[in-house]
């Protein structure tokens, strides 16, 4: 059974955001933890919110879960960003 952090979301003071997830004890990686984090600068995070119809006053994490699932479907997120020309930096960490 998959153990996951679920969607991780951190809005930053400069208007940028970190979005991702961590899966724990992943069999494919010999029991290592697998973390994926997307870094969106202020412009691209704003673009994401606009295209999803989310305001900064909304509970952003809830809207992201509605759109990309509580366990965060990274393929769906990446496809959406590519289609809408939203740029991000991706970091994958296996430990």
C-alpha dist (Å) from residue 49 to 4, 21, 27, 89: 24, 19, 34, 17
Express each pLDDT in 18-52 by its tens digit: 999 998 988 878 888 889 999 999 999 999 999 99
> What pLDDT digit, counting tens, does each position of 53-90 carry?
998 778 999 999 999 998 899 999 999 999 999 999 99
């Amino acid at each position: 059974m998959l153990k996951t952090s679920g969607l991780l979301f951190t809005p930053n003071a400069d208007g940028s955001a970190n979005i991702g997830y961590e899966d724990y004890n992943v069999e494919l990686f010999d029991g290592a933890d697998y973390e994926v984090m997307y870094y969106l600068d202020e412009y691209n995070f704003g673009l994401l919110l606009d295209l999803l119809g989310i305001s900064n006053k909304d509970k952003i994490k809830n809207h992201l879960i509605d759109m990309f699932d509580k366990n965060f479907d990274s393929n769906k997120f990446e496809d959406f960003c590519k289609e809408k020309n939203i740029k991000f930096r991706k970091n994958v960490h296996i430990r």
